[in-house]
Every structure is written in C-alpha cells, then in structure tokens.
C-alpha cells in the first residue's frame, strides 16, 4: 500500500498538470492562430463566430475541418462546402497543430462560449481588469490617413516593423498604383469580402503561413493597420472608376529598346575582334621573312 501512494500521487499530479496545460494551451493556441478570423461570441469576422460551435458540429468533424478545411471540402462534405460558399470562398489555412492541441482549442472555445465555465467571470470582470479600448471605425478616416495607407501598401513608406509591403504579394486595382504581385489574392474587393474587423484582424495577427512568416518579428502597428484598412475600403468603393493599366506595350517597347542598346554595345566592344580565320598581317609578315631568309 505504501508503494502505491507515490504512484497515485504522480498520476494525480500529472492529471492536474494536464488540465492546467490544456486551459493555458487552448488560450494561447486560439489567440496565436484562430482569433485573426474568428471570435467567440462577438460576431463574425473573416470566418464564423465560434461560440458554441461544439454544439453544432461533432468533435471529430471539427478536428478534421480545423486540421485541413480544404480536404474536407474536396471530400464533398455538404456542411464544409456550405460554409466555404457562405464566407466568399475564403480559404481557411490548415492549422499547424496536433490532434491534442486542437482538442485544447475546442475546450477553450467551449469554456468561453455562452454557458461555459468562464461566462460568470466574463460578466463580472475584476476591477483591476484593463478596460476595453475604444473602437474607431475607418468610416471616419481622413484623406491623409487613407493616403498613408496607400503609401504603406505600395511600399513607398516603410512599415515601422520592417516587414514587406502588401504590394509585394498582392495586386489591387487602383489608378494611384502601378500594380502589384500575383503571389497572393487580389485585394481590390477585400473590404467587401472580409469587412473592417476581418481586415484589421488579419493585418494585425496574420494567420496565413506565408504572411505569418513574412511578418515574424516585424509586427504591423495598430495605426498602420487602421491606415491600410482605410485605404482598402476606399479602393473597394472606387474600384469601378479605376482604369486597369496594360503594360504589354510598354514591356515590348522596353524589350526592343534594350535589344538595340545591347547590340550596339556588343558591336563597340567587339569591333577589334578577329574577323577572319587567318590573320593576314601576321601571315604576310612571316612569308616576307622567309623570302628574305632564302634570298
């Protein structure tokens, strides 16, 4: 019996530690990946509100969808396809988490949902709790702030964190810009697809792998996120008055001019090159030398 007591204590300690780790990990994992596109009881962002999602879907379905939503969609799951279409076919990135970590996230969502274990604490915050910051909608953004957002988007003004400009990967239809990259989604109608809260959330805490890697250690400030969101709102509203530029003729002209310049340079550099198989000056000199020798 005495030998069993230490074993029992170890098992009990491990169980308590696992529960604490689950709660802590669920919070950290959700806030590092999910909260850019989802809320728990605060309305939809880029994706649906996850409050009480555990009551609408089975744990197995949720785990599969979180791990790889596109795989579930390709399997023909009607619920997954309906969600994908409802939210403008915005691709949810695959969660870089294990099955256990996804369980921790689902546990955290259940606890934070209405009726969960954290509901009473949420309704009665402690006096020392930090007050919620006031929300300032981009509807009231000034022209100068929108201009700042345009400059940040194009890279003419460097992001304070040192991260790449949005135009490095994204294109947007705007007469004030020459175009953009094609590595990621066109952002011309991004504001209509994701709304203000969604764009701010993604810019402030990128959930997509490539974007997350690009801004690792180079966060975008709240002011920069506000300005970028204000610019994307204006670009969305004015997209039908813009004139997309066709650079084909410019590229062809530049290519032809470059060819002429290169051919001219090569001609100048190689003007003293050997033009015949035999160098006649050397040949004639040798012939003359031999003739004078035998004479």
CATH number at residue 235: 1.10.760.10
- Residue reference for tokens 């001219």: 264
- Residue reference for tokens 């040798």: 286
Q: Note whether 16 and 111 are same-domain residues.
A: yes
Percent of the chain with pLDDT over 70: 78
Average pLDDT, integer, range 193-221: 84
- pLDDT band at 224, cuts 50/70/90? very high
Q: Note whether 152 and 190 are same-domain residues.
A: yes
Query: What pLDDT does 143 receive?
Result: 94
| Angle (deg, nearest 10), helices 59-67 and 99-112 | 120
Higher pLDDT, 274 or 83: 83
Q: Could you tell me if residue 181 is inside a domain?
A: yes
C-alpha–C-alpha distance, residues 150 and 227, integer Å: 8
Q: Is the pLDDT of residue 17 over 50?
A: no
From residue 108, give the alpha-carbon distance in Å to each of 37, 44, 112, 206, 259. Answer: 16, 18, 6, 21, 63
Q: Could you tell me if residue 62 is inside a domain?
A: yes
Q: Which two tokens stand for residue 10?
A: 């170890």
Q: Note whether 93 and 58 are same-domain residues.
A: yes
- CB distance 50 to 38 below 8 Å: yes
Percent of the chain with pLDDT over 90: 17
Q: Which two tokens stand for residue 84?
A: 């994908």
Q: Note whether 114 and 57 are same-domain residues.
A: yes
- Residue reference for tokens 């509807």: 139
- CB distance 162 to 233 below 8 Å: no
Q: Note whether 95 and 63 are same-domain residues.
A: yes
Query: What pLDDT does 12 receive?
Result: 38
Query: What pLDDT does 173 receive?
Result: 87
Q: Could you tell me if residue 261 is inside a domain?
A: no
Q: Is the pLDDT of residue 215 over 60?
A: yes
Query: What pLDDT does 85 receive?
Result: 85
Query: What pLDDT does 288 receive?
Result: 74
- CB distance 202 to 37 below 8 Å: yes
Residue-wise pLDDT tens digits, 98-128: 888 888 888 888 888 887 665 444 444 444 4
Mean pLDDT of the chain: 78
Q: Note whether 100 and 161 are same-domain residues.
A: no
Domain end position, chosen among 70, 92, 119: 119
- Residue reference for tokens 């011309």: 188
Domain end position, chosen among 204, 226, 241: 241
Q: Could you tell me if residue 125 is inside a domain?
A: no
Q: Note whether 102 and 165 are same-domain residues.
A: no
Domain end position, chosen among 119, 151, 169: 119
Q: Note whether 13 and 114 are same-domain residues.
A: yes
Q: Note whether 20 and 104 are same-domain residues.
A: yes
CA count, 13 A, side-chain hemisphere, 86: 11
Q: Could you tell me if residue 24 is inside a domain?
A: yes
Q: Which two tokens stand for residue 203?
A: 């810019």
Q: Could you tell me if residue 199 is inside a domain?
A: yes
Q: Is the pLDDT of residue 36 over 50?
A: yes
Give me the sign of the Cα torsion angle 223, 224, 227, 229. Answer: negative
Q: Is the pLDDT of residue 33 over 80?
A: no
Query: What pLDDT does 233 receive?
Result: 93
- CB distance 92 to 47 below 8 Å: yes
Of the candidates 94, 63, 69, the one whose C-alpha atom is nearest the C-alpha of residue 210 is 94
Q: Which two tokens stand for residue 253?
A: 């002209």
C-alpha–C-alpha distance, residues 152 and 252, integer Å: 30
Q: Note whether 82 and 44 are same-domain residues.
A: yes
Q: Is the pLDDT of residue 259 over 60?
A: yes
Q: Is the pLDDT of residue 231 over 90?
A: yes
Q: Could you tell me if residue 276 is inside a domain?
A: no
Domain that holds residue 216: 138-241
Q: Is the pLDDT of residue 1 over 60?
A: no
- CB distance 198 to 210 below 8 Å: no
C-alpha–C-alpha distance, residues 58 and 65, integer Å: 11
What's the total number of domains in the chain? Answer: 2
Q: Note whether 152 and 82 are same-domain residues.
A: no
Average pLDDT, integer, range 207-213: 82
Query: What pLDDT does 271 receive?
Result: 73
Q: Note whether 234 and 183 are same-domain residues.
A: yes
- CB distance 228 to 155 below 8 Å: no
Q: Could you tell me if residue 66 is inside a domain?
A: yes
C-alpha–C-alpha distance, residues 28 and 47, integer Å: 19
């Amino acid at each position: 019996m005495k030998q069993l007591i230490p074993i029992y204590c170890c098992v009990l300690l491990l169980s308590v530690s696992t529960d604490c780790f689950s709660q802590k990990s669920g919070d950290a994992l959700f806030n590092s990946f999910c909260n850019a596109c989802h809320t728990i009881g605060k309305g939809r962002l880029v994706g649906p509100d996850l409050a009480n999602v555990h009551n609408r879907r089975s744990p197995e379905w949720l785990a599969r969808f979180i791990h790889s939503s596109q795989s579930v969609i390709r399997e023909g799951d009607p619920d997954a396809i309906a969600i994908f279409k409802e939210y403008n076919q915005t691709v949810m990135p695959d969660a870089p988490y294990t099955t256990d970590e996804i369980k921790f996230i689902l546990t955290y969502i259940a606890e934070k949902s209405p009726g969960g274990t954290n509901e009473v604490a949420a309704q009665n915050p402690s006096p020392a709790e930090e007050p919620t910051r006031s929300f300032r909608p981009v509807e009231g953004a000034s022209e100068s702030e929108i201009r700042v957002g345009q400059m940040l988007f194009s890279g003419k003004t460097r992001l304070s964190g040192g991260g790449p400009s949005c135009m490095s990967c994204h294109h947007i239809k705007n007469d004030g810009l020459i175009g953009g990259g094609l590595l990621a989604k066109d952002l011309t109608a991004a504001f209509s697809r994701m709304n203000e809260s969604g764009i701010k959330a993604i810019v402030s805490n990128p959930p997509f792998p490539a974007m997350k890697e690009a801004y690792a250690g180079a966060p975008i400030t709240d002011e920069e996120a506000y300005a970028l969101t204000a610019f994307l709102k204006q670009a969305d509203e004015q997209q039908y008055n813009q004139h997309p530029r066709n650079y084909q003729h410019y590229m062809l002209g530049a290519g032809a001019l470059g060819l002429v310049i290169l051919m001219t340079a090569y001609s100048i550099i190689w003007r003293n090159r050997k033009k015949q198989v035999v160098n006649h000056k050397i040949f004639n000199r040798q012939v003359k030398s031999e003739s004078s020798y035998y004479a």
